Structure 1
């Protein structure tokens, strides 16, 4: 990789040469690090143009801060002493308990989490209770069931009676939670039970939503309202709802309310779901083995008796061939014990129930019984119940559809949120009234600042000034263009003229300062291979490449047959990068013009080691606190497999800056680790032979080799993907591993660290009052809606053109380098302009180096 002119001139004073052990596998004694605590806020930023904003936080007033919540443990068991799980039945039992035993409980209202805990304002009369609660089931058959394991078990009910089920509920005192802990937290204290008090308030909101029949997903709730549904294909529907949570902020207690979306199974006939899910034109094309896996545990409602069941499987035979034993009546109309006759499910429903069955006669039945006692229902009588979560990974087509259909402009999002606050009338909840809590109905107004966009340096020492978070390379050269001499074009698309494409790419490259020779060869896919699978097509193409090229090219330009979601892409990348180590650029142009080709060349130049642009302050080596001391910047993230796929390992990726004093050049290190584990396990990975094969050693050595033998004295860590409950693990596990890796190289003086967590998955949004456009790029908010004590701020660095922008939420956990608020915020803002493949500011710059 080429060095910048500043590095070659060696203008920065060199540090003393490192000892020879830097490149050796030396194991040194490592000192245990003291436990670290999250730092408090050091001040507020002042840089930038002032702007007045609105945010989706609603101010909460607490009129009775001295109230005390009492926490009780709840245990529910059935008549046979088995524990009762399931939040739906738990809420029904507790509701019935309150109705039945209100006087014994002195009229105290409950806030019940649906599981093992309930809360009251003030104590119950006793510390321990045991109640018997009776629930009545109106769907029970009068008398004994007529037969075993058959559809008729749920047969015609001309007479219904109420079958009672008794449950034992034990309630025992657990703890006191003072509401005052929230007030103390707002004043800057750190009481132990503030999270417990906030949890009580959140449980109250969830209980309200549950009573309205909503689907609850963590702190979000979703109504069964067709107006909130949007079909995304494959039998999956996006359901719009709301997130709500109480948060202590610098401006006081607030309720954060936001639009939220979850995925549910499209309600309606089961057969319609299967056709959509498998993209089948007709029922005869359904893969029933796949359908069995998909339908298991889904809840359905039957048309003939209007009752809900849970699917446990499918019948082994079609409806018209699946037999079951039907009890036989004697001459007096009573059932004879042990007397049965074999009958098919189809015959039972058509002759005994007088229900006409059409298409489902030749299909398997749904089994809604128990493992040893099947109960079969014809498919066409069953519909999927609404508000059933779909937790599998979405396809790329579904994700695209969801994004396009669920995006909202800022003004629409503001209106939806404020309407929800008015309609749900949280203030009317008796529990909140008892606490003296009231909630305002207007969005909170906050003061923001808009930072000036950093100036960029491009080719020929020209300056580039971004406008509204964007810039371009019209009539400009790239800063350090590469020279491309050995390359080839491979074409999987019959519609693309590769000769014209290569000529236009060469001409565009010349205008941007890149010298591109004519391609060594243009390879067209053999038409007879186009019907083969993607892996075969890629293998056949590489057979042509190895036959027609004298050696490995600098890169391959690959023309894909589809612009989006091409099944060629994954196998092609694996083959070219993993198997052959050849950089590749995939394209699928609708039309070939200068803008499109420029964007392609930005990617190619970066992949081959060139530099498109630099920050002007970076080019001049004048970044505060970084210019004088070798500083390494790390971006760290962990990606996990699809929900429910515990067999797929998680992927830990870390990027580290190189070629100090630059902050635009990065090297990536990737490792697999235990599934669903968020903490990075391989930052320091000593082996039995004393060698460290961890990520940090790899990045530290690369920094040393690319920075004229300088060792980082400062390390800035940006961590993505962790929640507030994991902050201490980042500080006291991951940071310890980094230090151990540094010490393992024979170093005694540990670098100074600044550790920052960047969160994208939060629910705070920023709006411009009276404007239906997003906040300007560079917008900062570090007052009022931030934490009352910790050092955090919101930054919206990107220019949001579609939907409503989501600001990044930065939490500074540790700052041994001693940044001022303005210097740190300006550095983070500047990092949004260093992503070499983009000509727009991006939301969280350092992490795009990973992706």
Structure 2
């Protein structure tokens, strides 16, 4: 037995009735975050009153009145723990029990909930009958709405879970979360646990018995979205499955200061948008006033509004006058007024409590302040360019990228709260900068032409304008006066023809004459346009390119081309042993022990990386067709091959044809290649007709759309007597020309309704067996086949997933590159169509507001996939597992609130009684954590950690459910593990179950016989989003438009439409 005692209700906003009924015994009270009613349910244990848990069925009665407020005035609750936290009743129904909550105040209305258990069902009086359920969405084997009254951390063994226990999604969102509000353990006990890391067994009480389901006849609305509506799950212990191995991580422990950090607001006038200028102003202020007005304090500054000190300044508010020399203005000096005003302090003790597991929410103010402390020295150093959380300098190393760009080496630095304490994550980084050369030299490199005999085409001018707009230059024709300007555009005329009014009478003078007469400079490149460095508030200001030099240290923010990207990867690619050495050298060179700002604030940074006990998960057993010599396969080191295997479900290609747009591959060569490809498809287990319905042809790329449509009509005519349509078009392309590929895919997938397989000329000419086998894998899933499935899925042995119909989603949002302010962001969502195998995924996409990360039309896409799942399997999914890519930690709460609500609303719209359980997991690849093997026995040939290496201790979140998983074999450079963070879990995964499921799924990626770095549904969503982006990049306005792709309400006039996928295309994995 477990008993819970809630704290005394604080003084909130009063009045609510008996609505709270969670198993923490936090009394009767409203669930909202205004603190109405007795018993606020937040993790602080605030509010509520005495309550005993005695087993289901149960009654819930609560008194209203003055409940705990959002700010938290109530006392901390306590609990007593059963020594066996996973004990279960032998029978689904437990003894009678009750919750009784009270708080200071009058009684509010009460509610009673009874549970069906295994005996007769108790139903709530049907005071508000619902409309009839929609056909096909009635829960099998269930009474109507169900509710689970215990945290889904505590669940029965697999054999007991065959019954469906689907939580009701109603007005109390906290009840269904897979985390319990944190009870207050004694401080001394909590700190003693693993350096402040409390496991599930140590930090949560066990529950005896499994509560049955509650049935409700009354419809209840979805919870309102609020900042306290959803709480992230607590970590349900740590994993135990797999072989123990040790790895090093690029995390360095930081010892905290004991004193509070004082926070000051900074206002600089006139307003400056540049962080660099703001920092220069503050440096000048500190140099002038540190030992007088600032009382000897050495502050740190974020470059915007926040300034921090290790102790209080000798004033609450004060104004300073600062003067700076200005290189960007004709004036030699520029004055600023700086006002510094005290706004509060960041208590480091709260951070220490959070790291020890004694406080639920991270004190971001303290973490932010300490992060600024550690960034102050590199941010203030000459020659170092801060970019986000990274710092770059050409002195660290540089590498030519081509077309006037170069990469600068640098390092990334971020302060993170972890289980072991505060950690400084340091990594090596590189990014692209514009070369500091004369503009004429840059233009020559950009267009690849000699300026002495240059003829610029319209395309050249467009490329130059696009790459130079916004770039800062300094003039060289005025001696030591190197005034700086920002380029706003190019002149329409060449320099030789350009004139401007030189006096008040409007007398026109040629630019070439003006520079010869005033500066004694004869302009050499008169065929080039001039730079326009004027702005909206002044007349145009023309400067010849040859008198302008690009200012050093300007990051290139636009999209790199393919060659530049390849060169950047070469510059950054390091073997694990070399990367780890570079990281350690960076820590040494940063000299944190000598950093005056670090010393001022009392921080200590370790110079040793973190040693972690990781685990090596076993690879899954893969199932292939029984007709092959090898029906099952256990991959080794993350890879396998198709030798002696046949695709588990071979697709059919009965009607196909081929078009070559490559001058090097004529009709005969294309026919030879297609014969070899067809042979490989048949060997792999597909039905692939030997002869095409039309002979292969060669066509000109400038007739792409005409040829595609006319050839398709010929194929349709040839099949008209059979009443069939073509299955596949094989296309041979000359090279990696993005525009040709994008146009082809858009036409075939959104207009013609035909899947295609593109092959490059260089691969067609070789036609190696390995290449043909890989292409066969892609073709198979494009025509509806399956390449392989998990053997455990066939045998119904996958934890959680196999117990009831499950659909797995993947979602991602792709944003336009910097500089493309008019293009929309694109959200893509994929979902599995088969169960229990879970190997086939359908995809869809929608445009949305520019650079918006929240998926605005998620509900519509979820409904579309749920309908497709039911149509394909004749089952409605009772469990949803949702892998969400592309979300940063700062967006977790916002994404969870909006997207979980959208998923639940979508389910309710399909049927009022339809309420599947949901697990929502964020997948992150854009982080800087790296794992390095400590033993060569547990390293692959590239020197990386082995596939299956998982970490859920030390460097992970202090209390929340997250882990790092390296699921792929390193090929080149240092592997980056994927970071999985569970934001919602109705399904009650334990750590081993979710880690193994995620790892196993990484072996089901359709396009290759290798495990991949992130879970396939997230990978597929990423691919679809970029495919949809290519439809926009093709520049076409043709095609019909997707239903539901209307402009979002946030930017109804700016979101471009996307052409819709045709019906046959979106039924298959066209994006592979």
Instruction: Please indicate the TM-score interval, normalised by the length of the shorter structure.
Output: 0.7 to 0.9
The residue aligned with 2:20 is none
More strand by share: 1
User: Following TM superposition, by how much is the alpha carbon of 1:546 offset from its aligned partner in structure 2, in angstroms?
Assistant: 5.7
Matched residues in 1 for 2:739 and 2:491: separation? 35
Q: Does the 8 Å contact 1:311/1:367 carry over to 2?
A: yes
Q: Does the 8 Å contact 2:657/2:696 carry over to 1?
A: no
The residue aligned with 2:347 is 178
User: Following TM superposition, by how much is the alpha carbon of 1:280 offset from its aligned partner in structure 2, in angstroms?
Assistant: 4.2
The residue aligned with 1:750 is 915
Alignment CA distance shift 1:221-1:482 (3 Å)? same
The residue aligned with 2:464 is 291
User: Following TM superposition, by how much is the alpha carbon of 1:730 offset from its aligned partner in structure 2, in angstroms?
Assistant: 3.1
Alignment CA distance shift 1:474-1:554 (3 Å)? farther
Matched residues in 1 for 2:496 and 2:1020: separation? 59
Query: 1:629 and 2:777 equivalent?
Result: no
The residue aligned with 1:76 is 268
User: Following TM superposition, by how much is the alpha carbon of 1:349 offset from its aligned partner in structure 2, in angstroms?
Assistant: 3.3
Matched residues in 2 for 1:140 and 1:673: separation? 41
User: Following TM superposition, by how much is the alpha carbon of 1:350 offset from its aligned partner in structure 2, in angstroms?
Assistant: 3.4
Q: Deviations over 1:227-284 (max 9, x none)?
A: 6333333333333221101111111211100122322223212122223334445442
Matched residues in 2 for 1:51 and 1:842: separation? 21
Which of 467, 474, 489 is equivalent to 1:301? 474
Query: 1:101 and 2:273 equivalent?
Result: no
The residue aligned with 2:390 is 220
Query: 1:21 and 2:210 equivalent?
Result: no
Q: Please list, as runs of the form range in 1=range in 2, the aligned pairs for 1:98-497 lying within 5 A after superposition.
A: 98-102=286-290, 103-136=292-325, 163-190=332-359, 194-213=363-382, 214-225=384-395, 228-280=397-449, 282=451, 283-285=454-456, 287-288=460-461, 290-304=463-477, 305=479, 307=482, 308-315=484-491, 317-324=493-500, 343-358=509-524, 360-371=525-536, 372-460=538-626, 462-496=631-665, 497=669
Matched residues in 1 for 2:961 and 2:587: separation? 29
SS of residue paired to 2:802: coil
Query: 1:31 and 2:221 equivalent?
Result: yes
User: Following TM superposition, by how much is the alpha carbon of 1:454 offset from its aligned partner in structure 2, in angstroms?
Assistant: 0.4
Q: Deviations over 1:746-773 (max 9, x none)?
A: 2425222211111111110111137561
User: Following TM superposition, by how much is the alpha carbon of 1:293 offset from its aligned partner in structure 2, in angstroms?
Assistant: 4.5
Q: Does the 8 Å contact 2:389/2:413 carry over to 1?
A: yes
Q: Does the 8 Å contact 2:655/2:692 carry over to 1?
A: yes
Matched residues in 2 for 1:325 and 1:566: separation? 45
Alignment CA distance shift 1:85-1:444 (3 Å)? same
User: Following TM superposition, by how much is the alpha carbon of 1:220 offset from its aligned partner in structure 2, in angstroms?
Assistant: 1.0
Q: Aligned-pair RMSD on alpha carbons? A: 2.7
Q: Does the 8 Å contact 2:394/2:409 carry over to 1?
A: no
The residue aligned with 2:847 is 672
User: Following TM superposition, by how much is the alpha carbon of 1:671 offset from its aligned partner in structure 2, in angstroms?
Assistant: 2.1
User: Following TM superposition, by how much is the alpha carbon of 1:651 offset from its aligned partner in structure 2, in angstroms?
Assistant: 1.9
SS of residue paired to 1:362: coil
Range that drifts further, 396-405 or 99-108 = 396-405
Q: Deviations over 1:45-72 (max 9, x none)?
A: 111111111111112123x32x111111
Range that drifts further, 426-435 or 617-626 = 426-435
Matched residues in 2 for 1:215 and 1:320: separation? 38
Matched residues in 2 for 1:769 and 1:36: separation? 40
User: Following TM superposition, by how much is the alpha carbon of 1:662 offset from its aligned partner in structure 2, in angstroms?
Assistant: 1.9
Matched residues in 2 for 1:603 and 1:813: separation? 33
Which of 946, 950, 960 is equivalent to 1:780? 950
Matched residues in 1 for 2:620 and 2:836: separation? 17
Alignment CA distance shift 1:484-1:300 (3 Å)? same
User: Following TM superposition, by how much is the alpha carbon of 1:544 offset from its aligned partner in structure 2, in angstroms?
Assistant: 6.0
Matched residues in 2 for 1:321 and 1:489: separation? 53
The residue aligned with 2:972 is 802
Which of 807, 811, 829 is equivalent to 2:999? 829
Query: 1:585 and 2:757 equivalent?
Result: yes
Alignment CA distance shift 1:319-1:498 (3 Å)? closer
User: Following TM superposition, by how much is the alpha carbon of 1:170 offset from its aligned partner in structure 2, in angstroms?
Assistant: 1.1
Q: Deviations over 1:452-482 (max 9, x none)?
A: 1101111117111111100111122111112
Query: 1:642 and 2:812 equivalent?
Result: no
TM-score if structure 2 supplies the norm length?
A: 0.69
SS of residue paired to 1:646: coil
Length, aligned pairs only:
781
User: Following TM superposition, by how much is the alpha carbon of 1:700 offset from its aligned partner in structure 2, in angstroms?
Assistant: 1.4
Q: Does the 8 Å contact 1:61/1:438 carry over to 2?
A: yes
Matched residues in 2 for 1:85 and 1:44: separation? 46
TM-score if structure 1 supplies the norm length?
A: 0.86
The residue aligned with 1:45 is 239
Matched residues in 1 for 2:931 and 2:828: separation? 30
Matched residues in 1 for 2:273 and 2:326: separation? 18
Matched residues in 2 for 1:835 and 1:222: separation? 37
Q: Does the 8 Å contact 1:636/1:654 carry over to 2?
A: yes
Q: Does the 8 Å contact 2:322/2:337 carry over to 1?
A: yes
Matched residues in 2 for 1:745 and 1:347: separation? 75
SS of residue paired to 2:822: coil
The residue aligned with 2:1019 is 848
Q: Does the 8 Å contact 2:716/2:726 carry over to 1?
A: no
Matched residues in 2 for 1:581 and 1:342: separation? 60
Q: Does the 8 Å contact 2:730/2:756 carry over to 1?
A: yes
Range that drifts further, 431-440 or 553-562 = 553-562
SS of residue paired to 1:696: helix
Alignment CA distance shift 1:482-1:201 (3 Å)? same
User: Following TM superposition, by how much is the alpha carbon of 1:592 offset from its aligned partner in structure 2, in angstroms?
Assistant: 1.2
Matched residues in 2 for 1:29 and 1:138: separation? 68
Matched residues in 2 for 1:577 and 1:719: separation? 25
The residue aligned with 1:617 is 792
Range that drifts further, 94-103 or 282-291 = 282-291
Q: Deviations over 1:417-468 (max 9, x none)?
A: 1111111212322221122211122221111111111011111171111111
Matched residues in 2 for 1:163 and 1:400: separation? 44
SS of residue paired to 2:1010: coil
User: Following TM superposition, by how much is the alpha carbon of 1:19 offset from its aligned partner in structure 2, in angstroms?
Assistant: 5.6
Q: Deviations over 1:295-326 (max 9, x none)?
A: 23211123333513222334454444444566
Alignment CA distance shift 1:181-1:430 (3 Å)? farther
Alignment CA distance shift 1:340-1:754 (3 Å)? closer
Matched residues in 2 for 1:398 and 1:216: separation? 22
Q: Please list, as runs of the form range in 1=range in 2, the aligned pairs for 1:649-668 lying within 5 A after superposition.
A: 649-668=824-843
Alignment CA distance shift 1:574-1:366 (3 Å)? closer
SS of residue paired to 2:974: coil
Matched residues in 2 for 1:469 and 1:767: separation? 17
Q: Deviations over 1:577-605 (max 9, x none)?
A: 21121121111224113222111111111
User: Following TM superposition, by how much is the alpha carbon of 1:506 offset from its aligned partner in structure 2, in angstroms?
Assistant: 2.9
Matched residues in 1 for 2:323 and 2:738: separation? 58
Q: Does the 8 Å contact 1:475/1:511 carry over to 2?
A: no
Matched residues in 1 for 2:988 and 2:462: separation? 61
Q: Does the 8 Å contact 2:475/2:547 carry over to 1?
A: yes
Matched residues in 1 for 2:449 and 2:243: separation? 57
Q: Deviations over 1:739-794 (max 9, x none)?
A: 11111122425222211111111110111137561110011011111111111110
Alignment CA distance shift 1:212-1:512 (3 Å)? same
Matched residues in 2 for 1:510 and 1:373: separation? 70
SS of residue paired to 1:560: strand
Alignment CA distance shift 1:547-1:385 (3 Å)? farther
Task: Please list every run of 5 or more consecutive structure 1 residues that lacks an aligned counterpart in the other structure.
Answer: 1-17, 142-161, 328-337, 685-693
